[in-house]
C-alpha cells in the first residue's frame, strides 16, 4: 500500500520535471532562435520597398533575406546619412555591399540601414531601415527563475 503511494509520487514528480523541462526548452528557444524575414514580403527586394517592416520588433541576430534578380540590384549596409540622402558616398568607405541576389544579412544592435546602390533605385524606394533590439532583461530573469525551480525539484529530494 505504502509502496504504491510512493510509486505514484515518483510518477507525479517525474511528470513535473518533464513539464518544467518543456517550459525551459520553450523559454530558451524563444530567447535564442533567430528569425528569418524576407525583405519586402512576397515581392522581395524591389522598388517602393521603403516602410517594409515598420512596427515589427526585430531582434539582434534575426536574418533579413534580400531576394532580387542578380545584376539588377544590390544591397549596401549603410549609415543614416547615406540612407536619408540615398548617397552611397556618405556611407563609410568600407560599407559592405551584397550582390548575389539572395543575400542573408544578420541584424546588429541599433538601427540597420539598407539601400540599393544602383542609380536612382534608392530614390525610388529601394531602402529599408529597422531597429535591432536585444532580448529584454525581464525575459532573461524569467528563464533564470524556471531553472531555479527545476534545480530545487532535482536537489531537494522531490523525486525520492
Ligand atoms: Cu535596385
Residue 62 C-alpha to ligand 1 middle, in angstroms? Answer: 23
Q: Which of 160, 130, 135 is nearest to 31 (CA)?
A: 135
Q: Mind listing the pLDDT tens digit for each residue in 93-132?
A: 999 999 999 999 999 999 999 999 999 999 999 999 999 9
Give the cell for residue 50.
521603403
What is the pLDDT averaged over residues 64-79?
98
Residue 61 C-alpha to ligand 1 middle, in angstroms? Answer: 25
Residue 80 C-alpha to ligand 1 middle, in angstroms? Answer: 18
Domain boundaries, the chain: 2-32+138-155, 36-134
Q: Mind listing the pLDDT tens digit for each residue in 45-65?
A: 999 988 888 888 899 999 999
Residue 53 has a pLDDT of 83
Residue 5 clears pLDDT 70, i.e. is over it: no
Q: Which of 10, 4, 24 is nearest to 149 (CA)?
A: 24
Residue 47 C-alpha to ligand 1 middle, in angstroms? Answer: 7
Residue 60 C-alpha to ligand 1 middle, in angstroms? Answer: 25
Q: What is the second-level CATH architecture of the domain 36-134? A: Sandwich (2.60)
The region of weakest confidence among 26-40, 73-87, 140-154 is: 140-154
Residue 17 has a pLDDT of 56
d(CA 36, CA 80): 23
In 3-state terms, what secondary structure has residue 31?
A: helix
Q: Which of 152, 68, 62, 48 is nearest to 112 (CA)?
A: 62
Orientation angle between helical segments 2-32 and 137-155, nearest 10 degrees: 160
Amino acid at each position: 500500500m505504502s509502496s504504491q503511494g510512493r510509486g505514484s509520487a515518483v510518477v507525479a514528480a517525474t511528470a513535473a520535471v518533464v513539464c518544467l523541462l518543456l517550459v525551459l526548452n520553450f523559454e530558451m528557444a524563444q530567447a535564442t532562435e533567430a528569425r528569418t524575414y524576407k525583405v519586402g514580403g512576397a515581392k522581395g527586394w524591389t522598388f517602393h520597398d521603403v516602410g517594409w517592416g515598420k512596427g515589427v520588433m526585430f531582434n539582434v541576430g534575426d536574418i533579413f533575406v534580400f531576394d532580387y534578380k542578380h545584376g539588377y540590384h544590390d544591397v549596401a549596409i549603410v549609415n543614416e546619412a547615406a540612407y536619408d540622402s540615398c548617397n552611397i558616398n556618405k556611407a563609410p568607405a568600407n560599407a559592405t555591399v551584397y550582390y548575389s541576389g539572395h543575400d542573408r544579412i544578420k541584424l546588429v544592435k541599433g538601427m540597420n540601414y539598407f539601400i540599393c546602390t544602383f542609380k536612382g533605385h534608392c530614390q525610388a524606394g529601394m531602402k529599408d531601415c529597422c531597429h535591432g533590439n536585444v532580448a529584454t532583461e525581464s525575459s532573461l530573469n524569467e528563464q533564470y527563475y524556471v531553472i531555479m525551480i527545476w534545480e530545487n525539484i532535482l536537489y531537494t529530494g522531490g523525486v525520492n
